[in-house]
Structure 1
Amino acid sequence: MNVDATVPQTPIRILRPLQPLTWLERAWHDIRIAPGIAFSHGLLLALAGWFILAVARHQFWVMAGALSGFLIVAPVAATGLYAVSRAIERGEPVGWSTVTAIWLSVDRRLVTFGLLLGLAGTGWVLTSAALIHALSPSPVVTPIDFLRLVVANRQSWLFELWLALGALLAAPVYASSVLAIPLMLDRPVGVLDAVLVSWRAVIENPLPMAIWAALLMGFTLLGLGSLLMGLIAVVPMLGHASWYAYRDLVPPATPAVAMARG
């Protein structure tokens, strides 16, 4: 694959503030076309979450690390959904072969990016553990300890500080990944270049991308708060919508880029 060195200079479209809402609507159009593929992705991620909870339900830091990594790497797991949306956009037939072709290609860029996201999740857990270990009145070992000593502790601002730290660390991860994976799927661009384009999209559209971040967080929390059952619908909705976020922000490839991809 020839890597296109001009991608970081690709113009970024300016969005309307509420344009992210249209991505959710278009996502449900794609889900109706290929519901089996869509909900299978959601079910697989929900099953992975249930497995994590079953194995680590009494070990808070193991569970926190596994769930953090799970949530951060989830955009990579949704690559098959991006491929389906791209095929629908092109008027191509859609089936499981659309998804398996992506995964069987073992794209090293996606693998590398997934590993980098995993490292980011690990960094968050270690930083979070250091903060709570330093400021918690007693050791946090189980999920109940976390709820009692951190969340419900009204004698300190530890929970609020923990949330603020999480937001501070999540912001660059979001800016780096919001467009990177669909871009790598669609064009012959390296990981660093894809991240640069993703950052530019966020910087040039601060309000719409902040709204999109809030929607991503809100629906994810709904999925998690429903004992992970909601992930079955939330994952395909956000996965397909993420493709349309990319499509609205980045203009279609020029003929030269299209030829390089082929």
Structure 2
Amino acid sequence: MAEDNDNTNATSLIKPAAPRKAPIVLEITLNDVIDALSAGLQDFRKAPVYGLAFGAFFAIGGILIVLTAAAFNMSYLSYPLAAGFVLIGPFAAVGIYEVSRRLERNEALSWGTIFRTMWDQKGRELSWMAFVVLFIQIMWMYQVRLLLAIFMGFRSFASFGEFISEIVNTPEGLMFLAIGHVVGAILSLILLSLTVISFPLLLEEDRDFITAMITSVKAVVVSPVPMISWAIVVTITLIVSIAPAFIGLVVTLPVLGHTTWHLYRKCVVPEDAG
């Protein structure tokens, strides 16, 4: 009887763990975006070797994808290469975030610690976020093919130049461009909303990817003008960087990655401070 009472008392002392609070999202302004961009530039200047290395990784990946489609007539490799790059890219981005995080904490930088942090993500929720990005990319590719079939039919073109000429010089082609840009803008907004701060959050707090996406969407809803402005800056920067054979990405991508980390810091209250 006494033993039963002891078991009852022990059980009553065991309390269920309190549910983890959702991340606190703050409203930001355009000045915060500018400040984050300035901080991103400073991080790149403080650790240029790391930024240039990761930037070169992305630039080489883009060059390989284009070469397989255009120069080597191996377009059948372009889609799997692009898909693989989308899955690997977030892990490389984590390396950039980790550089900013260590600079923020005045911690030593080394390739060993950076790669260890990237490797540690393989069994965490960041892998699922990478698949979310891949899914949206697949949706984008298939909507392009669907719109091509609707407006251009199933015609074949002798060359890429002939295809471009048909697109820009016919009513059907111009309609394809117009609607394609609208659909692309919608998919881009969805991608922005789901990912703008989710990857840094997953690195910092080890949340589940659903919580990370919800938090990211909240950040866009709370501060739509600054976030959409940031998306426009990213889009224009990438277009300008890609134009010279992807070379510009070597510098601009690490700066954008460092900036994303600081933007996350301005949007989300650290868990230990909440």
Into which bin does the TM-score normalised by the smaller protein fall? Answer: 0.7 to 0.9
In structure 2, relative to structure 1, the CA distance for the partners of 1:129 and 1:24 (3 Å cut) is same
Q: What's the counterpart of residue 122 of structure 1?
A: 138
Mapping of residues 150-229 of structure 1, within 5 Å: 150=167, 152-156=168-172, 157-229=175-247
Equivalent AA in structure 1 for residue 227 of structure 2: M
1:188-207: CA deviations, max 9, x gaps? 21000000000000000000
Q: Is the 8 A contact 1:60 1:142 kept in 2?
A: no
Structure 1, unaligned stretches of length 5 or more? 258-262
What's the counterpart of residue 65 of structure 2?
Answer: 52
- State the structure with more CA Rg: 2
The two structures have a TM-score, normalised by structure 1, of 0.86
**Residues 192-201 or 16-25, more deviating:** 16-25
Name the SS for the 2:128 alignment partner: helix
Pairwise CA distance, 1:226: 1.6
TM-score by length of 2: 0.83
The answer on whether the counterparts of 1:7 and 1:197 sit within 8 Å (CA) in structure 2 is no
Q: Which runs of structure 2 are paired with 1:99-114 in the superposition (5 Å)?
A: 99-105=114-120, 106-114=122-130
**What CA RMSD, in Å, does the superposition of the two structures yield over aligned residues?**
2.6
* Cα distance change of structure 1 residues 172 and 12 upon mapping to structure 2, 3 Å threshold: same
The share of aligned pairs that are identical, in percent, is 23
> Are the equivalent residues in 2 in contact too, given 1:178–1:242 (CA < 8 A)?
yes
Which residue identity lines up with residue 29 of structure 2 in the other structure?
Answer: R
Question: 1:42 is matched with which residue?
Answer: 55
Q: Secondary structure at the match of 2:53?
A: helix
The Cα offsets for residues 146-180 of structure 1, whole Å up to 9 and x where unpaired, read as: 42222x13423211111111111121111000010
Aligned to 1:136: 152
Task: State the Cα deviation string for residues 77-117 of structure 1 (Å, max 9, x = none).
Answer: 31100011011111111121231111221233111211221
Counterpart secondary structure, 1:94: coil
Counterpart of 2:93, as a letter, is A
1:91 and 2:109 equivalent? Answer: no
When residues 210 and 101 of structure 1 are mapped into structure 2, their CA distance, relative to the original with a 3 A threshold, is same
Structure 1 pair 76/177, CA: closer, same or farther in 2 (3 Å)?
Answer: farther
Counterpart in the other structure of 1:31: 44
Instruction: Give the structure 1 partner of residue 165 of structure 2.
Output: 148
Counterpart position of 2:6: none
Residue 29 of structure 1 deviates from its aligned partner by 1.0
Change beyond 3 A, Cα 1:202–1:73: farther
Match of 1:260 in 2: none
Give the counterpart letter for 1:180 in structure 2: S
Deviations 1:133-153 (A, max 9, x none): 221153468543442222x13
